[in-house]
Structure 1
Amino acid sequence: MASFGWKRKAGEKVSKSVVQQFEAQDDAGGHNEDVNWLHAIKRRKEVLLEDCAEKSKRLKEEGSQLAEQGRHWEAIKKWDEAIQLTPENPLLYEMKSQVLTVLQEVFPAVQAAEMAVKLRPVWWEGWQTLGRAQLNLGEVDLALRSFQVAIHLCPSERTLWQEDLEWARRLQKQELATKEKTRQEEETKSQILKAPELEQDYDFESDEVLAACVAVAERQNRYEELKRTAVVMDSEGNIKNIVTEDGGSEDTAAPSKEQFVKARRL
């Protein structure tokens, strides 16, 4: 057995009896073949993981209680602590996304929901939460896809059909109508600035000049009307163009949003 370096360096300052006693203890306990160090280390890791899981579960429950009391930022702080302990738990990200959506933190809400479905791709509630967060961000097409995935995973869930998917389709319909209205407005404006009737040479005493001016005036009126028009959707999902009094856009009634955070089982 090779001796430790301190014995050679110590020299005469260490008594011979002390050296012999140390070597005897080293021989007796240093090479115990019965000790399985790998098993001991593995067991220690298992104990630490169990402790992290229990603490994470406690933090998750505390966060749920805080969220139900309306203390949303405190709830998020608890869940962030739990995520540090169990970063592979999709439930923590999904609940965090719900609360961030309530707080109108739209982009972080989408990020949290995306992490939830990444960790558990076959969890329909995770896709539902992602779709709602995407709607809040204004990504209607992405939200439609998320709701469709959720329905594919759980076709018997009526809220996905009657609430989430139906509302997303209405918003998509309204968005398309708004884009078409904007296109018409830009086209009419372009025709006013580049009126083809005014590019010709007219006899100013002829009726052609009058007809050209009338055509330009009609386009101007059409443009002003489009500017005063707002695209709205009625309770049955029908799109209507309504001319407002002040030229601004009318606010459409937002769907009722129930603020909730539910502890879901995986």
Structure 2
Amino acid sequence: MASFGWKRKIGERVSKSAVQQFEAEAEKLEEEDGAGADEEVDWLHAIKRRREVLLDDCAAKSKRLKDEGALLAEEGRHWEAVKKWDEAIQLTPDNSQIYEMKSQVLTMLHEEFPAVKAAEMAVKFQPLWWQAWQTLGRAQLNLGEVDLAVRSFQTAIHLCPSESALWQEDLKWARTLQKQQLATKEKMRQEEETKTQILNAPELQQDYDFETDEVLAACVAIAERQTQYEELKRTAVVIDAEGNLQNVVSGEGSGGAVTPSEEKFVKARGL
């Protein structure tokens, strides 16, 4: 029996209808791929749009909480105001105005360190806002960081030199306190030095002839140092109503405590 062998190469003499069918299927696949790509682009756009809507909602809710906190602060309900602002910060953590208001209220509540931290955040997110620097300086002043407060007030003045309150009130007061700090440190240095001279008086290191006047002179010198030391202990550096520095010595029997008249001297500056 004769056998039949397939000798033709693959692809040879392919019918025209088969080619057309293949091309039609290829075009269909391309269209489906293109449609899928379009659907993917639409999906990404939908996500982006959804995110924008959520951000808008957060901003609106944060503004509402910020306004509610401001009303509570005006009514004197300070801790409730802080709570509202904390909720607003959770929604808009880069809102410098909320941090600035929170710092003001915390300063009123004598929460010095949290007030400084809140003001620092306000400056961080809006470094060109002079009022944030002013609030930071006042918070630093309450914390006792006088040098840092001076720098903050100077920055605020650089940003808004026309604001007279920064010159005449904040910076002037901070510089006065700075001078007081320096004067107090100098007084403490003199006091410590005088105390050391009393304990290690050079006159006590010598041998004297008790029949001469050297013993009397040595006793007088030691007594003068002792008097100077007692006066330094009873002296305090204070600021009068005009902002001038004065050394005030307390009267006898006061135990070294200085109690200047409230009419003449002021202890702290109200914000």
Length-normalised TM-score, structure 2: 0.81
Residue 44 of structure 1: aligned partner: 50
Correspondence 1:148 to 2:161? no
Correspondence 1:250 to 2:256? no
Distance 1:141 1:40 in 2: 52
Instruction: Please point out which of 168, 171, 192 is paired with 1:165.
Output: 171
Q: Which runs of 4+ in 1 moved over 3 A?
A: 30-35, 249-252
Residue 199 of structure 1: aligned partner: 205
The SS at the match of 1:191 is helix
Compute the displacement of 1:55 (Å). Answer: 0.5
Compute the displacement of 1:172 (Å). Answer: 0.8
Compute the displacement of 1:207 (Å). Answer: 1.2
Correspondence 1:59 to 2:65? yes
Instruction: Please point out which of 113, 135, 139 is paired with 1:107.
Output: 113
Instruction: Please point out which of 211, 219, 222 is paired with 2:225.
Output: 219
Compute the displacement of 1:230 (Å). Answer: 1.1
Alignment of 1:6-155 (within 5 A): 33-34=38-39, 36-155=42-161
For structure 1, list consecutive stretches of 5 or more residues without a partner in the other structure. 1-26, 259-266
Distance 1:166 1:93 in 2: 25
Compute the displacement of 1:177 (Å). Answer: 1.0
Letter in 1 for 2:167: W
Could you say which structure has the greater relative contact order, defined with CA pairs below 8 angstroms and 6 or more residues apart?
Answer: 1
Identity across aligned pairs (percent)?
73
Compute the displacement of 1:206 (Å). Answer: 1.9
Compute the displacement of 1:257 (Å). Answer: 2.2
Compute the displacement of 1:236 (Å). Answer: 2.4
For structure 2, list consecutive stretches of 5 or more residues without a partner in the other structure. 1-31
Letter in 2 for 1:253: V
Aligned length: 230
Distance 1:222 1:113 in 2: 45
The SS at the match of 1:241 is strand
Distance 1:131 1:249 in 2: 28
The SS at the match of 1:37 is helix
Note if contact 1:230-1:250 (Cα within 8 Å) is conserved in structure 2: no
Distance 1:175 1:89 in 2: 35
The SS at the match of 2:226 is helix
Residue 182 of structure 1: aligned partner: 188
Compute the displacement of 1:180 (Å). Answer: 1.0
Distance 1:211 1:202 in 2: 11
The SS at the match of 2:236 is strand
Distance 2:120 2:235 in 1: 37
Cα deviation per residue 1:51-105 (whole Å; 9 max; x = unaligned)? 1000000000011111111111111000000000000100111111101111111
Could you say what the CA RMSD is over the residues aligned between the two structures, in angstroms?
A: 1.7
Letter in 1 for 2:266: A
Note if contact 1:79-1:92 (Cα within 8 Å) is conserved in structure 2: yes
Distance 1:196 1:256 in 2: 46
Length-normalised TM-score, structure 1: 0.83
Compute the displacement of 1:34 (Å). Answer: 4.4
Compute the displacement of 1:152 (Å). Answer: 0.4
Q: Which has the greater radius of gyration?
A: 2
